[in-house]
């Protein structure tokens, strides 16, 4: 009789324990494509694909409409206008030049044009054509493709590696 | 039972009762413990921990909600509890990519999450409070969240009109139309044109049975082991419109037999006077002069040719018409002469314009095509098929209908099966259980199904009739996005009210203009009121932009305004009368409401204003970064050498004030010119003049050089 009692008690406890420790559903494995809105091949190494966030992907769209003509060596229409210009405009991915410029400076030169900031007047102002948000997204795209990679001031690099 | 035994039993019962009570309490205690451990509550707690580490802890904690949070929009069928875990979604301070998910802020988009919910765009199961149930497909819910790279599909479920922010969706929709998917499938918003593939009613007059056999076997597309797509042996980036069908030897023989006897229309070859031909044929330069004419007429704008430079062979030229590298070995010479002279007589719906040929040009160009654009090896490996037998013809006739050829190609008197392929107007909302995966070893959801089917139709259904296409990943994703956007009509009236319809774009001119417009097929490259191709500038407001005399001169002798363009307006050899008809219509009808050429008198411009304008152009605004004047300047905008002979002052002024007002998608940035600067710049530009009248020798040489340049 005692034996039967202990058995049933044990059984109850086991059931209770099992139901208490219900296994949690495993989180889905992160698929890199799930987190990228768009991608851009690294300009210096086409094999390396840079994943872009939503904001960067909007910047990419605007870059390839407005900026590519002078800030890249190849354009959707073929040859680039870059070699025609003096001073030669920096390439978009030219980290050595652009990484040292602050976001605020970039925002200003795109909004107001080169002449307003003491740079070449050949850079036209886009403040009446693009919204602040659109210009910000172009800067975000610039930062994403920069070579050497862009590191925002005051933050450890690791936070910005990939993603 | 004796009394003391009863007492004993009672004692033991008490013990059992006591122990089971304790156990029962313990079991009850498990429930709050389980509740405490629930997945969403864990996310709540880790959000609190994150909030403590942020500089704006106070605000984050003030907005924190302890319980399940949901967005409930009854009219739109939305009950989304996603914000239970995705708590930082509206916190601008959490937009940093260093913030771990699920707490990061949503990127700024035109729709506010509280007004729209999440599943309207991302899909997934809104009411679920567990990650797996909300994100993935389960037995009870078959619509997992969309991969972000295909998210533009959701924009397309309501925005039937194209959006600038969704290039991938727009490209996918264009691909569906371009590849003639509407030949077999019903697709919402893709209009079925009058002609999809070429009309084959008379194809037996044009090509040999052997050529048809080879074409059907390898419709110019070959994919090698490295995945390179080649057309007739040349690498290309364009997907040819004719896909590859999986045909057996017998089927190839049957179809080639059937097609080679299609000679329904009486065909009268155009004969050039034999005496003249005899005289011209003695000319040793015949083919090279034909080639020069071919280049001067800019056939390359629509047709590509393989060009070898530095050991590398590439296709150069447009893709509106077929690639022509080996066409001389394909078509019958009599057919070619007749076709070039009047394409619409053979195919009423062809995009090929009718050129104003002189017999001499026609003969020279034909000689060039039939002697130089040839390949004696084109049909190697194809056995002589001989006269078609009755059985082969019967088989071919049956196959032509069964394989779906008749869905894209017309043969007069043959009625194609209606709706040959499945209706795709609701494909984007299909559940996995409605799809046939066959033996394919892929995850069962809609996205994998669509991509597997597109890449290899037989992978999900060995008996698939759908032909084989070659996609690169970008095109595959674009077309998947477009298909996912097709979710039929929205289910609730509140959502139906949100639909942004596609713009009706029909442009149907009448009268003398319409006849010339049809003959030269202007709409193949130019848009009018939003209708037409996008290879060349939109002409909806051409009458406001260009001066009438310039239009006439340009039509007679088109010269590009943009030095870097490879594809240029063909030389139609247009008569004075046709050019005048087009120019009159444009100046009278194709006017922009805000730029009336009659409103501005060019005499108001003084030399002093022009001098100031030159100063502004060259120094203050440095327009030469994008525009060329004389020999120097940029290549981004059109050259302005002849701005004064080309543009109307009203257009220039309107353009300087706000370019996007006149051409919404132009890339010229809107500047902050004062009214005086606008007038001065206009005055300066109106002084720039350069003759574009044809100068016989100079033009020929120039065009030749240009054609050479175009090939680079």
Judge if B439 and B359 occupy the same domain.
no
Report how many domains make up chain B.
5
Shortest Cα distance, chain A CAs vs residue B667, angstroms: 6
Backbone angles phi, psi at A77, to 5 degrees: -95, 5
What are residue B316's DSSP bridge partners? B305
Residue B562 placed within a domain: yes
Burial of B230 (0-12, 13-18, 19+ CB in 10 A): middle
Looking at per-residue pLDDT, the higher value among B21 and A8 belongs to B21
Q: Among B27, B148, B165, whose Cβ lies nearest the Cβ of A36?
A: B148
Residue B501 placed within a domain: no
pLDDT at B341 over 50: yes
- Please give the pLDDT value at position A32: 52
Q: Among B621, B624, B660, whose Cβ lies nearest the Cβ of A129?
A: B660
pLDDT in tens, B483-503: 999 987 776 666 777 777 777
Judge if B475 and B532 occupy the same domain.
no
Residue B478 placed within a domain: yes
Q: Do A28 and B132 touch (CB under 8 A)?
A: yes
Q: Which residues of B touch A13 (CB under 8 A)?
A: 23, 26
Confidence class for position A122, pLDDT limits 50, 70, 90: very high
Which residue intervals of B128-208 are DSSP H helices? 131-135, 152-158, 167-178, 203-206
What are residue B234's DSSP bridge partners? B231
- Please give the pLDDT value at position B495: 72
Looking at per-residue pLDDT, the higher value among B224 and B83 belongs to B83
Judge if B357 and B238 occupy the same domain.
yes
Judge if B245 and B358 occupy the same domain.
yes
8 A C-beta contact, residue B70 and residue B80? yes
Q: Break chain A into its structural domains and give their ranges.
A: 33-152
Average pLDDT value for residue range B653-676? 92
Probe site for chain B from A3, A85, A149, A154 (most B CB atoms < 10 A): A85
8 A C-beta contact, residue B381 and residue B226? no
Judge if B527 and B440 occupy the same domain.
no
For chain A, say whether B130 makes contact (Cβ under 8 Å).
Answer: yes
- Please give the pLDDT value at position B162: 86
Q: Which stretches does DSSP call E strand in B114-217?
A: none
- Please give the pLDDT value at position B597: 85
Q: What is the CATH number of the domain that holds B364?
A: 1.10.760.10
Confidence class for position B5, pLDDT limits 50, 70, 90: low
Domain boundary among B372, B402, B435: B372
Percent of chain B with pLDDT over 90: 34
- Please give the pLDDT value at position B493: 66
Q: Do A84 and B132 touch (CB under 8 A)?
A: no
pLDDT in tens, B448-488: 999 999 999 999 988 888 988 878 888 899 999 999 999 87
Q: A33-152 architecture in CATH?
A: Orthogonal Bundle (1.10)
Count Cβ neighbours within 10 Å for each residue of B306-328 and write b for 16 or more, e otherwise.
bbeeeeeeebbbbbbbbbbbbbb
Cα gap B317→B616, rounded to integer Å: 39
- Please give the pLDDT value at position A1: 56
Judge if B537 and B656 occupy the same domain.
yes
Q: Do A34 and B147 touch (CB under 8 A)?
A: yes
- Contacts (Cβ under 8 Å, ≥6 apart) of A144: A40, A50, A52, A53, A56, A59, A150
Judge if B641 and B553 occupy the same domain.
yes
Percent of chain B with pLDDT over 70: 90
For chain A, say whether B136 makes contact (Cβ under 8 Å).
Answer: yes
Q: Do A155 and B636 touch (CB under 8 A)?
A: no
Judge if B490 and B515 occupy the same domain.
no
End-to-end CA distance of chain B, in Å? Answer: 113
Cα gap B468→A5, rounded to integer Å: 71
Residue B697 placed within a domain: yes
Average pLDDT value for residue range A37-45? 88
B329 is in which domain, residue-wise?
A: 203-372
Shortest Cα distance, chain B CAs vs residue A94, angstroms: 20
Residue B248: Cβ within 10 Å count: 8
Confidence class for position A71, pLDDT limits 50, 70, 90: very high
Probe site for chain B from A31, A36, A77, A157 (most B CB atoms < 10 A): A77
Cα gap B297→B291, rounded to integer Å: 10
Judge if B98 and B51 occupy the same domain.
yes
Q: Do A126 and B669 touch (CB under 8 A)?
A: yes
Judge if B479 and B427 occupy the same domain.
yes
Q: Do A54 and B109 touch (CB under 8 A)?
A: yes
Burial of B35 (0-12, 13-18, 19+ CB in 10 A): exposed
Judge if B266 and B351 occupy the same domain.
yes
pLDDT in tens, A12-29: 666 655 555 544 444 445
Residue of A nearest to B635 (CA): A81
Q: Do A155 and B16 touch (CB under 8 A)?
A: no
pLDDT at A125 over 90: yes
Judge if B249 and B360 occupy the same domain.
yes
Average pLDDT value for residue range B567-578? 88
Shortest Cα distance, chain B CAs vs residue A3, angstroms: 13
pLDDT in tens, B109-147: 888 888 889 998 999 999 998 888 898 877 778 888 998
Q: Which residues of A touch B132 (CB under 8 A)?
A: 25-28
Shortest Cα distance, chain B CAs vs residue A128, angstroms: 6
Residue B13 placed within a domain: yes
What are residue B79's DSSP bridge partners? B72
Residue B506 placed within a domain: no
Mean pLDDT of chain B: 85
């Amino acid at each position: 009789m005692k034996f039967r009692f202990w058995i049933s008690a044990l059984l109850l406890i086991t059931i209770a324990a099992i139901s208490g420790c219900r296994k949690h559903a495993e989180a889905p494995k992160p698929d890199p494509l799930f987190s990228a809105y768009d991608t851009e091949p690294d300009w210096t190494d086409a094999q390396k694909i840079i994943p872009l966030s939503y904001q960067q992907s909007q910047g990419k769209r605007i870059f390839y409409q407005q900026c590519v003509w002078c800030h890249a060596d190849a354009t959707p229409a073929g040859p680039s206008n870059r070699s025609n210009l003096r001073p030669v405009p920096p390439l978009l991915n030219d980290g050595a030049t652009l990484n040292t410029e602050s976001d605020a400076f970039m925002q200003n030169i795109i909004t107001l044009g080169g002449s307003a900031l003491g740079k070449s007047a050949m850079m036209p102002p886009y403040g009446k054509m693009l919204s602040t948000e659109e210009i910000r997204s172009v800067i975000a795209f610039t930062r994403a493709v920069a070579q050497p990679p862009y590191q925002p001031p005051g933050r450890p690099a690791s936070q910005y590696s990939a993603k | 039972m004796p009394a003391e035994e009863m007492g004993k039993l009672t004692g033991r019962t008490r013990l059992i009762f006591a122990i089971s009570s304790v156990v029962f309490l313990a079991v009850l205690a498990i429930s709050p413990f389980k509740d405490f451990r629930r997945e969403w509550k864990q996310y709540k707690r880790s959000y609190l921990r994150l909030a403590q580490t942020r500089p704006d802890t106070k605000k984050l904690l003030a907005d924190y909600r302890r319980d399940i949070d949901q967005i409930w929009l009854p009219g739109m069928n939305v009950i989304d509890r996603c914000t239970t875990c995705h708590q930082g979604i509206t916190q601008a301070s959490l937009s940093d990519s260093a913030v771990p998910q699920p707490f990061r802020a949503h990127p700024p988009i035109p729709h506010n999450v509280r007004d729209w919910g999440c599943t309207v765009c991302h899909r997934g199961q809104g009411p679920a409070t567990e990650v797996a149930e909300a994100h993935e497909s389960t037995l009870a819910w078959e619509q997992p969240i969309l991969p972000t790279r295909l998210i533009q599909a959701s924009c397309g479920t309501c925005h039937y009109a194209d959006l600038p922010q969704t290039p991938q969706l727009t490209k996918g929709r264009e691909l569906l139309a371009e590849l003639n998917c509407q030949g077999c499938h019903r697709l919402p918003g893709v209009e079925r044109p009058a002609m999809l593939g070429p009309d084959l009613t008379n194809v037996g007059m044009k090509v040999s049975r052997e050529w048809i056999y080879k074409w059907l076997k390898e419709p110019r597309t070959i994919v090698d082991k490295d995945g390179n797509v080649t057309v007739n042996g040349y690498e290309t980036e364009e997907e040819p419109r004719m896909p590859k069908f999986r045909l057996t030897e017998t089927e190839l023989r049957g179809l080639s037999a059937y097609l080679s006897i299609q000679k329904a229309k009486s065909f009268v070859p155009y004969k050039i006077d034999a005496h003249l031909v005899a005289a011209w044929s003695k000319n040793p330069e015949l083919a090279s002069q034909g080639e020069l004419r071919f280049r001067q007429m800019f056939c390359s704008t629509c047709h590509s040719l393989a060009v070898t430079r530095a050991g590398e062979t590439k296709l150069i030229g447009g893709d509106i018409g077929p690639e022509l590298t080996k066409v001389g070995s394909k078509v019958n010479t009599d057919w070619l002469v007749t076709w070039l002279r009047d394409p619409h007589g053979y195919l009423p719906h062809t995009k090929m314009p009718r050129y104003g040929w002189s017999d001499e040009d026609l003969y020279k160009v034909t000689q060039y095509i039939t002697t130089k654009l040839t390949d004696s090896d084109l049909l190697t490996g194809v056995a002589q098929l001989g006269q078609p037998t009755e059985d082969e013809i019967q088989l071919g006739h049956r196959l032509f209908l069964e394989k779906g050829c008749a869905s894209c190609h017309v043969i007069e008197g043959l009625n194609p099966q209606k709706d040959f392929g499945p209706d795709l107007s609701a494909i984007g909302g299909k559940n996995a259980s409605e799809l046939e995966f066959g033996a394919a070893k892929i995850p069962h959801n809609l996205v994998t199904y669509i991509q597997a089917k597109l890449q290899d139709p037989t992978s999900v259904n060995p008996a698939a009739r759908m032909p084989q296409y070659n996609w690169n990943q970008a095109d595959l994703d674009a077309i998947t996005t477009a298909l996912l956007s097709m979710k039929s009509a929205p289910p609730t009236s509140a959502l139906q009210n949100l639909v942004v319809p596609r713009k009706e774009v029909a442009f149907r001119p009448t009268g003398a203009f319409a006849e010339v417009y049809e003959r030269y097929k202007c709409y193949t490259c130019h848009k009018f009121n939003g209708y037409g191709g996008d290879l060349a500038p939109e002409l909806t407001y051409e009458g406001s932009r260009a001066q009438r005399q310039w239009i006439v001169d340009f039509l007679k002798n088109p010269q590009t305004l943009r030095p870097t363009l490879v594809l240029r307006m063909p030389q139609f050899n247009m008569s004075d009368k046709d050019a005048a008809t087009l120019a009159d219509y444009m100046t009278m009808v194709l006017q922009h409401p805000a730029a009336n050429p009659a409103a501005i008198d060019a005499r108001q411009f003084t030399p002093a204003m022009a001098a100031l304008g030159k100063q502004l152009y060259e120094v203050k605004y440095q327009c030469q970064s994008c525009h060329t004047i004389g020999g120097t300047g940029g290549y981004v905008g059109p050259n302005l050498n002849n701005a004064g002979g080309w543009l109307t002052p009203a257009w220039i002024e309107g353009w300087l004030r706000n370019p996007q007002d006149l051409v919404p998608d132009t890339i010229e940035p809107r500047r902050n010119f004062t009214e005086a600067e606008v007038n001065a710049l206009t005055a300066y530009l109106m002084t720039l003049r350069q003759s574009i009248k044809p100068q016989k020798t100079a033009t020929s040489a120039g065009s030749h050089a240009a054609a050479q340049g175009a090939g680079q």
